[in-house]
Structure 1
Amino acid sequence: MSSEARTPAPPRNRANTRRSATDHLRRALMDLCDHRGQVLTHTEKAWASITFAGTRHRLALLFAGAEAVAAAERFIACLPDHEFAIPGQLVADAGIAEVDHRLMPAERMVVQCDLLLLEEG
């Protein structure tokens, strides 16, 4: 057994971990669907007009099982009017692009949503 003192690893400071607007968006969407959805795909594309800059996001979320599908239905109803709180960003538009609901062999729903985030400032 060594008598040398080991230098402990510095504690992980979560406050120093910088989250991107995309991270905040995903977390907000998961909160909105009661963490019942799983992100299948997420694409992000730069967007700009004469006066604004931002990003367009398209996500496909999978909801598997009856309880998850019920959460998806609430998500679909709430998304367009939801007030997002994403630091430095304004959600200018949020909507459902496509819904695929299957009952067999097990109930599942895939929801595609589109969001436009604009940089505040």
Structure 2
Amino acid sequence: MYIDPIRPAPVSVAAERAGKRVVAALQEMAGGCAELLAMEERPWASATFSGARHTITLRFHGSADCETADGFIETLPEHEFTLAGLLVADAQVRAVTYENRPEPVMTVEAELLLLNED
């Protein structure tokens, strides 16, 4: 099968569903106050496992939501996710941007490694 180096391979339906489930779990952790800015999925495999890395960027608006973001950042690495058929092998915050516009705005980029439980 030829893969065009300019255009990425299409994301499988299963991977797309996994990405949506991850976003829903992260938004639940954030109390539903986070705005989804971006979601990226990259296949990942080792000699014994397969899965994908998911990079999700969320934005929090206002003082109260930024406080929620602080809690989200603190708890993400140790959070126990329940995603049927998937194991979250690693979860980390990759970047945090804080802006003090008329109201505070925090942008959080999280990366999760999901392994298929096949």
Q: Shorter-chain-normalised TM-score: which range?
A: 0.7 to 0.9
Q: Percent identity?
A: 38
8 Å contact from structure 1 (residues 21, 87) kept in 2: no
Partner of 2:61: 64
TM-score, normalised by the number of residues in structure 1: 0.82
The count of aligned residue pairs is: 104
What SS is found at the alignment partner of 1:105?
A: coil
Which residue does 1:26 correspond to in 2? Answer: 23
Q: Which runs of 5+ in 1 are unaligned?
A: 1-17
Report the AA paired with residue 108 of structure 1.
Answer: V
Question: How far apart are 1:104 and its partner, in Å?
Answer: 2.4
2:88 aligned residue (79, 88, 91): 91
> Structure 1, residues 74-108: CA drift from partner, whole Å, max 9, x if none?
10001000000011000000000000011123200
- Cα contact 2:56–2:110 (8 A) shared by 1: yes
CA deviation after TM superposition for structure 1 residue 44, in Å: 0.3
Q: Larger C-alpha radius of gyration, 1 or 2?
A: 1
TM alignment of 1:1-121, pairs within 5 A:
20-121=17-118
Gaps of 5+ in 2: 1-13
- Cα RMSD after superposing both structures: 1.4
Which secondary structure does the structure 2 equivalent of 1:20 belong to? Answer: helix
TM, length-normalised to structure 2 = 0.84
Q: Distance in 2 between matches of 1:81 and 1:32?
A: 12
Q: Distance in 2 between matches of 1:62 and 1:23?
A: 17
Name the CA distance, whole Å, in 1 between partners of 2:52 and 2:67. 29
Deviation at 1:23, TM superposition (A): 1.9
CA offsets 1:30-49 (integer angstroms, 9 cap, x no match):
11000111110100000000
Residue 8 of structure 1 corresponds to none
